[in-house]
A and B are shown apart, each in its own frame.
Chain A
C-alpha cells in the first residue's frame, strides 16, 4: 500500500496518509453503512453488534458423526455468566438441513474454504427442520422435528455449558447449549451429503443466521444474516458489484486519499472473489470430518479460516490473548454426553456502560447548526449589499 501512496504523491507520506486514510475510510464506511440498510441485531459469535437480544445471538454450529449417530450442537448467547433465568421463551431456535440439493466436491479451492460447492444455490431449501423452544430456565418447552425418521431415538440436551469457541474473548464464559444425538437412521438411507444452517427468530422474524463458521461474523457479511441461503448468493453478487464500482472509481482517481479510501474499502467491506458462496455448512461422509467439512468441537477455526484469507479473528485473538495463541479450548471437552465442558460458575453481570456519547453528538449537531446559520447569514448580508450596490449603479 505504501508503494501506492508513494506513487500517488511522489513523497514518502505513508504515515500521514494512513491516518488520513483511516478518516477517509471511516467516512466511506459510515456512508456505505448509512446508504445500505443493515440488520441491526444480526450477529454471530464475535460480532460487534447490538446486544439487546443476546439470547438470539448464535455462537456455534457443530456437526459431526459419532458411530451410528450424527452429533449436532447449536449454541446461543455469547459471553454468558449471569445466573438464570434468561429471556429465552420468545425465541425460536431452528436448525435446517438440505439433503437433496446437489453438491460438488470437484473444486479443491472451494472445498478447502466451504467444504464443497452447492451446484444450484438458489434452490437451497430445508428438507429437515429442528425447531426448539426453550423456557427461561433453559429447560425445553418443545422440540419439533420435520423431515426426520426415528425421532424418538434422538437424544437431546439443553442447558448452560462452557463456550466451546477457541477464542480468548470467550474463555471462562458460558453459552446456552442445545445438543442432539441423531441416529443416522433418522435420515434417508444412503444420505452422504448435508447442507446445514441455523437461525434464531422472534415473532416469526429472523434475527440471526449461522452456516459455515466465521462467515457472517465478518463485517462484510452482516447483511446476509437475515436472508435465507437461497437468496444469499444473489445478494452477495449485487453487493459485490456495487462495492467493486465504488472501489474502481476511488482507485482510479488521481487523489492519493481516494486511493487510500479504496484500499481501506478493499480490506474492510469489499467482497472478495471467493466470497460468492451461500452461507451454509457442508458435511459429507466422503471425506474426513473437520472444518470446513462439518465442524468438530476441537477445530481451531480461527486459524483455519485465516489460512484461507480471513484473519480478522486471528488478529483479535493476538490482540486480546497471550502469545502463543491458544489453539485449544480453555476447558477440555468431554468424550461423554453432552460433550461440551461444564459451565463456568455464574457471576454477577458487570455493570453496563455508564457513559454516553449522546450529549457530544447533540452538542456537535447544535454547533453545526449554529455555524451553518452563521454562514447563511453572512452570505445573505453580502448578497443584499451586492444587490443594493448593483442597483445604485444601474440607477445612476
Chain B
C-alpha cells in the first residue's frame, strides 16, 4: 500500500512537473495533437521523418521528442511493429524506414500533462471542443466558477500509404481513445470517409469529430458520432487530412484527492493523405 501511495505521489509529481513545463511553454496547452510525417507516400526503403505537431485547424508548432512524455511511439508495417527512434529535444521527433509495400500505421501515445485554467477560459475551451456535456456536469456539481484542473493525454495515428491498402489499419490499437477508420483511406475512392471513435475499446456516442484539410485552415468539417461511435465525412477534395476528436471524463476520486485534478481529457487524431474520390490510379484494394 505504501508503495502504491508512493507511486501515485510520484505520478502526481510528474503531472505537476509537466504542468509547470506546459505553463512555461505558454500556448502548449491542450490543443490538437497530430503526427505529420515528412511524406505520406514514402517509397520503399526511404527514410521518413516523423514530426509531432500541436496546434489548431491543422496548423501546428513542432513538438520535439521528449522521451519522458512518450508512452508508445511505433510504426506497424508489413505485419511488424517497431519503435520509432529519435533523439530527445529534436524535431522531427522520430525516424522510420518505410517498407512501402502496404499502408503503414504510425502510432503515438503520451501525455499525463497537467493543466489548470481559470473557470471562464476552461468553459470556453470546453465549448470550443464540443464538450458541452462537461460544461453541464460542472454546473451540476457546482464547479462552474472553479478553475478547471485536468490532465490531458494524447493518442495520435498517421497512415503512410504503400503500394497497396492494408486492412490492418482498420483495427483498433488499444489506445485509451482513438479514431479508427473503417477502411484504409489512403487509396481514396467514392463515398465518405467513415470511422469510429472508441474510448477504452468501446464506442463513444455524441463525440464531436472534426476533419481538417492541410493548408486550408478554413476547411473544417464537424460531426458527432452516433450511438455506435460511427462518423462519416464526405471529404470535398483530396489532400492531407486530419481527423480528430477529444473526449473528457471525470477524474477518479483517488486522482482528485491525490493529484488535485478533476478531469482527464483524451485527444485522438488520425492523419492521412486522401487521394480523392477517384482514388489512386493503379492502387490495389
Residues of A within 8 A of B (CB): 102, 107, 117, 119-123, 233-234, 236-237, 240-241, 244-245, 247-248, 251-252, 266, 270, 273, 276-277
Chain B residue with Cβ nearest A120:
B43
| Stretch touching chain A among B88-96, B190-198, B201-209, B271-279 | B88-96
Interface string of B83-118 (1 = CB under 8 A from A): 101111110100111000000000000000000000
Task: Decide if A248 touches B47 in the complex (CB within 8 Å).
Answer: no
Task: Decide if A240 touches B88 in the complex (CB within 8 Å).
Answer: no
Complex interface: chain A residues within 8 A of B90 (CB): 273
Chosen A-B contacts, 29 in total, with CB atoms closer than 8 Å, are A120-B43, A120-B44, A121-B45, A122-B44, A122-B45, A123-B45, A233-B45, A233-B46, A233-B47, A233-B97, A234-B45, A234-B97, A237-B47, A237-B85, A237-B96, A241-B95, A244-B87, A247-B87, A248-B67, A251-B88, A251-B89, A252-B67, A252-B68, A252-B88, A270-B87, A273-B49, A276-B47, A276-B49, A276-B95
Complex interface: chain B residues within 8 A of A252 (CB): 67-68, 88
Tell me, in angstroms, the Cα distance from A117 to B89 when the chains sit together: 26
Chain A residue with Cβ nearest B100:
A120
Known pairs A240-B95, A276-B95; A121 contacts B87 (CB<8 A): no
Interface string of B33-52 (1 = CB under 8 A from A): 00000100001111101000
Complex interface: chain A residues within 8 A of B38 (CB): 107
Complex interface: chain A residues within 8 A of B68 (CB): 252
Report B20 CB to chain A, min CB distance, Å: 14
Question: Which residue in B46, B49, B67, B85 is a CB contact (below 8 Å) of A121?
Answer: B46
Complex interface: chain A residues within 8 A of B96 (CB): 237
Chain A residue with Cβ nearest B51:
A273
Question: Lowest 9 CB-CB distances: which A-B pairs, in order?
Answer: A122-B45, A241-B85, A276-B47, A119-B43, A244-B87, A120-B43, A248-B88, A237-B97, A248-B67
Tell me, in angstroms, the Cα distance from A107 to B46 when the chains sit together: 14
Complex interface: chain B residues within 8 A of A276 (CB): 47, 49, 95
Complex interface: chain A residues within 8 A of B89 (CB): 251
Complex interface: chain B residues within 8 A of A240 (CB): 85, 95
Task: Decide if A248 touches B87 in the complex (CB within 8 Å).
Answer: yes
Report A36 CB to chain B, min CB distance, Å: 16
Known pairs A237-B97, A240-B95; A120 contacts B88 (CB<8 A): no
Task: Decide if A120 touches B85 in the complex (CB within 8 Å).
Answer: no
Task: Decide if A119 touches B46 in the complex (CB within 8 Å).
Answer: yes
Task: Decide if A244 touches B43 in the complex (CB within 8 Å).
Answer: no
B49, B89, B92, B95: residue with the most chain A Cβ atoms closer than 10 Å: B95
Complex interface: chain A residues within 8 A of B43 (CB): 102, 119-120
Complex interface: chain B residues within 8 A of A266 (CB): 87
Complex interface: chain A residues within 8 A of B88 (CB): 247-248, 251-252
Report B229 CB to chain A, min CB distance, Å: 36
Complex interface: chain B residues within 8 A of A120 (CB): 43-46
Tell me, in angstroms, the Cα distance from A252 to B70 when the chains sit together: 13
Tell me, in angstroms, the Cα distance from A102 to B87 when the chains sit together: 30
Complex interface: chain A residues within 8 A of B87 (CB): 244, 247-248, 266, 270
Complex interface: chain B residues within 8 A of A119 (CB): 43, 46
Tell me, in angstroms, the Cα distance from A237 to B85 when the chains sit together: 9
Report A88 CB to chain B, min CB distance, Å: 36
Tell me, in angstroms, the Cα distance from A237 to B90 when the chains sit together: 16
Interface string of B62-91 (1 = CB under 8 A from A): 000001100000000000000101111110
Tell me, in angstroms, the Cα distance from A162 to B46 when the chains sit together: 39
Complex interface: chain A residues within 8 A of B47 (CB): 121, 233, 236-237, 276-277
Complex interface: chain A residues within 8 A of B67 (CB): 248, 252
Known pairs A120-B46, A237-B97; A273 contacts B85 (CB<8 A): no
